[in-house]
Structure formats: structure tokens, C-alpha cells
Structure 1
Amino acid sequence: MLTSREVAAYLGIHEKQVYRLLRQGRLPGTRITGRWVFSRRLVREWIEASSREVLRQGQRGGEVTIHSVEPHHLIFVGADDLLLQILQREFNRRHPALLVTSAAMNSVAGIAAVRERRAHVAGVHLLDPASGEYNRPQVAAAFDRGRAMLVTLAHRQIGLMVPHGNPRGVAGLGDVIRLRLRLASREPGSGVRVLQDHLLRELKLGKRRVAGTELALATHLEVATAIAEGRADAGLGTLAPSRSLGLDFIPLIWERYDLVTTDEAFYHRPTQAFFEMVKSDWLRQLITTLPGYDARQTGLLTVVQPDD
């Protein structure tokens, strides 16, 4: 159990604010012989619930922002990624006094959440077809006031997932179109969907319809599952879910997966701790053990100005 002074230190606030939260009925505490005591588990659950409310309010157009959460709390939004999941677990293990709350969100929505101060950090992997560059052009366009920071997590391989043994002999998207196969697609706004739409445009299909693109699947694993269950014949994604379900994987490109934050949130204590891990030798060594990932620019910081 924590005393009021200890819970104040844990939350990074003044002890008077603890009593204010108690009077408002917001902070879980128990009064024993005239003194307030707090369960560490219940306090953590309260922090997690508060951060989820920030995300829910933001998604509903509310006014709640990252300034509503406690100083030791980091709100992360982003697409599903194996490396990111491992990183977050290790962060929680190394920094038990800090708290990361994460929510699945596609790259376009993630950039908006950071810009609108509904999240501290977002994972992004958006190709700019005009320049062939990843992430910086879209972030510069979104942050027309104030600068943003991009920290590279890793490069990862994107390819076509097809059934085990590749029975139709698919070598690329062109074969998917030629053979009139069903292409499982990600939701609009996701980095993989942006890439897929660009690659299909390059094939100059005209008005030809691609079967399956009406699907709006939320994750790489959902795409892989659709193929494994016979609901689709192919789909773009990363290597990990393809291997986990026994599919064949046809490499297409390497994309850069960045973490975007605002100039302000960059100096938030948990954000700094998170980025220190991104720049660590531990992460680089981990990446060398993960097929489909590359650490060539891991930890690289790029400052994005509005007029870039």
C-alpha cells in the first residue's frame, strides 16, 4: 500500500493534488484510522483507464488531450508491429514506474492523434508516391504549425503473402491481377493500403476491378488469416504473420517505420525514456535476430519543419 506522499511521487504531482483528486472521487483510495492509503495496482489501473478515456474522447471529437494524463504516463498509438510489441514489453519491464498505454491506429489516424495532442507518439509508415520517401512529406503536411520529430524504429520488409507452396505461382501484384485472384486489403489510411494503392496505380489497370480490395482489414495478421482460411488468395503484409500461419512470402520492398512526436511531447520524460530504448544497442541486436527487419537507420532523429 502507498501513502498519500508516495502516491504523489508515483504520479509525479504535488501531494495537495492527490487530495483534490480524492475529493473529486477520481482517485481510488481507502481511509484507515484517519489516513489515506492506496493500492499500487488500483492506481495503475486508474492511470490506464484515464489514458484510454483520452483516446476515446479524442476519437469522439472531445477536448481531452495528453495534458490530462499524469506526468509519468506515455500514450502510444500505431499500427500493429512485432518489433514494437517486443519493445513495449521490454520498456514496461525496465521502467515499472512509467506506464505506456497503446492503441491500434493506422498511420494517417496516428499522425492526426499526435498533432491534436491525443497521443504522445505514433508509429507511421506512409509512402509518399510523388517522392518515393517515407513519412516525412506526410508529417510535414500535417504539422503546418510547429515542428515534429521522427525517430526511426527500423526498416521492415513488405511482401505478398500467398498460400503455402504458392500454388498459383504468384511473383508479384501483376500476377494477382492477371490471374484474377482475390487480394485481401488493409483499411484506408494504413501504410500498407497506401502502398498497395500506389502499386496498383502503377499497373495502369484502368477501370479493371481487383477482387477483395473492398475488404478493410485492420492488421497484417487479419490479412494473413484471410489467406490461410481461403477467403483471399494474396495480400500485402510483413513477414512475421506470414510465417506464423505457414504462408509463403514474396518480398517486394523495404519500408521505413518511424515514430512521430511533437516538439513538446518529445521532451516528456516517458517519451525520452522510450526513445532512449529505440537508440539502444539492445534494440539493434534484437533487430538482427528478427527476419524481415533491418537496423540500418534505427534511432535516427529527423526534425520536420512545417515548410519541409
Structure 2
Amino acid sequence: MNETSSYTIEEVAGLLKVSKLTVYDLIKKGMIPAYRVGRQMRVDEADLKQYKANMRMSQPVSSPEEPRKAQEPMPEGRRNVVISGQDISMDLLSKHLESAIQETPLRQYKGSLNSLIDMYQGKCDIVSLHLYDAETAQYNTPYVKRILSGEPFCQMNVVLRKAGLYVQKGNPKNIQGWDDLKRTDIRIINREKGSGARVLLDEQLGLLGVTPSDVKGYSDIVTDHYAVASQVSSGQADAGIGAQHAAHMGSVDFIPLIEEQYDIVILKKHQQLLEAVKSILNSEEYKANLSHLNGYQTKLTGKVIYET
């Protein structure tokens, strides 16, 4: 490739072996220069090489933006704490946690329900959730109590954020809410099973008495908020379910429909870890980091929502 070559955000994420969410955060912080071509953001090859060179010179251990991979050897006396979840707030937590307890976090980018099942199976230590339960009109607690039955745990809030529908700029099809998704002229882009957005959609469709087969595009799947926004922005779908913070970078309009409670769960047997995370979530520095992100509210950040 020559020096004028460039990459899409998805290609950059693949080359750095991080999520697209992390790439967008690096761009927002000015660590990787980017520009827009039509509706697509791109990064020049030379700028990506420079970022990688800067990271090699700055820290011998993995940076917060590039969490250590499981196959890398760990320094003697340290262990992995596995943090599962796709939101950027978990990347921030990973950064704070490494310096707080001198353990190297391993980031896992899985949806809420799948992450909770991994915790039950002993595969991760911190799980982030945004799982809506239509029967109780609650977030997270009903799922945690069912899946972690018999395991003492603590559930704390990280942020409150708006969830709803991404639509094309100007909302040309006048989409207003969940009920519009059954219209024959509307095609959606969906999330994978186990993700909080997929659970939210399924619960809302159930409340309306709408079956998945009534929704065009229900079986079309992508695996993060930015991919949903990108599909809608490019016209490959008319609507998609996601959180407000991804709408700005995805060049779509956002229709807020519900306030999400984004929480984390930690088993009480990891007492040192639990106390460290409580301290981080309640710190002014962490809250300030979150408040700078689009669509995030910190009025409940650090509050214990439920504990056994």
C-alpha cells in the first residue's frame, strides 16, 4: 500500500485488535487523526503507523486503549481481572483499575446476557449490563437474581443513558417508536442474541404483541452500536436499536424511547476488587470522564442498586 492508503474504522479496529468503540474514543481524544468521506470516517495509514509508534515509545505494558490479550505472559505476582462489556465506560474502568489494585484487566467485548452467563461459569470478574425486563419494568436486577442464584453479588450503577432508535438524517420515514417497526416499509438492523439492545427490542415487541417475523430485517445482525448506526446511515436499514452516544459519530438521528440503567455486577467473594471498583465509581475523576461523553448521566454512578 502507498502512503495515501487509508482504512475504515472497522479495519482500524481489526488491525489494533480492539473494538470499534475504542477506535472512536481514540479519535475523539485526538490520538488518531481521522476524516470523513461522505458518511464514512477514514484513517490514513501513515497516521495509524504514527499512533502505533507513539504507543511503543510511551509504555512497555499495554495501554488502556489496547488492553492486554490473554495469550501474553503476565508479570510474576499479577493476575488478570476480566471485565466484560462493550461500553466505553468499561474501558475507562479498566484504566483506573489497573493503577488502583496493580492487576492487569483483560477486556472482553460481549453482550450483557452472554457476559452474565460467563460470570456464572467463572469466566469473568466484572460484568456490565443493560437488560430490560418488561414484566417488572426494571433493568438488570431480575436477570442477575435468576442467573446468579446462590452467588452473593453486588450490583452498582455506572451510568444512565438514553436508548432508542437510530434513523436516517431528517427521519424521512417519520419513525416515532417501537410500533413503527412492524410497518412493511421499514427494515431494521438488529443486534446479536444476548446483547442488551436485542433484549430491549424483544421485550418491547412482546409488549406490543408483535412477533419477530412481523419485523423486516429482524434476522440481519451486527454486533455493536456503531455498526447499527453505520447501517442506518448508509441506507442499508431504516432503523436500528442503540444508545444515544453512538448516534453522533454514526451520523444518524436518534429517537430516545427509554432511559437505560447501565450497571455492573461483581461477586462478593472478590472483596478487594469490589472495594476498589466502588471507590473508582464514586470518584470525581471517573464521573468527570463519563460526563464528557455524549448522552451519559452520572447522578446514580457508584450507587449500590442491589446486593445479596
- Aligned ranges for residues 237-252 of structure 1 at < 5 Å? 237-252=242-257
Runs of 4+, deviation exceeding 6 Å: none
Change (3 A) 1:49 1:190: closer
Percent identity between matched residues is 25
Deviation, structure 1 residue 245 = 2.0
Gaps of 5+ in 2: 1-58
Residue by residue over 1:169-222, the C-alpha shift from the partner in whole angstroms, topping out at 9 and shown as x without a partner, is 211122232353111111111111111011112222368521111023211111
Residue by residue over 1:106-153, the C-alpha shift from the partner in whole angstroms, topping out at 9 and shown as x without a partner, is 111111121222111011111111101111111111122121111110
Residue 148 of structure 2 corresponds to: 143
Q: 1:82 aligns with which of 80, 84, 88?
A: 88
Deviation, structure 1 residue 288 = 3.2
For 2:276, the aligned partner's letter is: A
TM-score (norm: length of structure 1): 0.71
Residue 285 of structure 2 corresponds to: 282
Q: 1:259 aligns with which of 255, 264, 273?
A: 264
Change (3 A) 1:73 1:168: same
Change (3 A) 1:176 1:112: closer
Change (3 A) 1:42 1:292: closer
For 2:297, the aligned partner's letter is: D
Residue 13 of structure 1 corresponds to: none
Change (3 A) 1:299 1:207: closer
Q: Aligned partners of 1:41 and 1:188: how far apart in 2?
A: 37
For 2:149, the aligned partner's letter is: D
Q: Aligned pair 1:120/2:125, yes or no?
A: yes
Change (3 A) 1:233 1:297: same
Residue 209 of structure 1 corresponds to: 214
Change (3 A) 1:100 1:300: same
Q: Is the 8 A contact 2:97 2:280 kept in 1?
A: yes
Change (3 A) 1:141 1:208: closer
Partner-residue secondary structure (3-state), 2:205: helix
Q: Aligned partners of 2:210 and 2:294: how far apart in 1?
A: 33
Q: Is the 8 A contact 2:183 2:215 kept in 1?
A: no
Partner-residue secondary structure (3-state), 1:185: strand
For 1:82, the aligned partner's letter is: I
Q: Aligned partners of 2:205 and 2:60: how far apart in 1?
A: 50
Partner-residue secondary structure (3-state), 2:84: strand
Q: How large is the RMSD of aligned CA atoms in angstroms? A: 2.8
Residue by residue over 1:86-125, the C-alpha shift from the partner in whole angstroms, topping out at 9 and shown as x without a partner, is 3434545x45943111011111111112122211101111
TM-score (norm: length of structure 2): 0.71
For 1:223, the aligned partner's letter is: V
Deviation, structure 1 residue 295 = 1.4
For 1:184, the aligned partner's letter is: I
Residue by residue over 1:40-89, the C-alpha shift from the partner in whole angstroms, topping out at 9 and shown as x without a partner, is 95899xx9454789xxxxxxxxxxxxxxx9655321111x2133333434
Change (3 A) 1:210 1:114: same
Change (3 A) 1:239 1:147: same
Q: Aligned partners of 1:249 and 1:42: how far apart in 2?
A: 39
Q: Aligned partners of 2:248 and 2:206: how far apart in 1?
A: 28
Q: Aligned partners of 1:128 and 1:175: how far apart in 2?
A: 21
Change (3 A) 1:52 1:111: farther
Larger-gyration structure (1/2) = 1
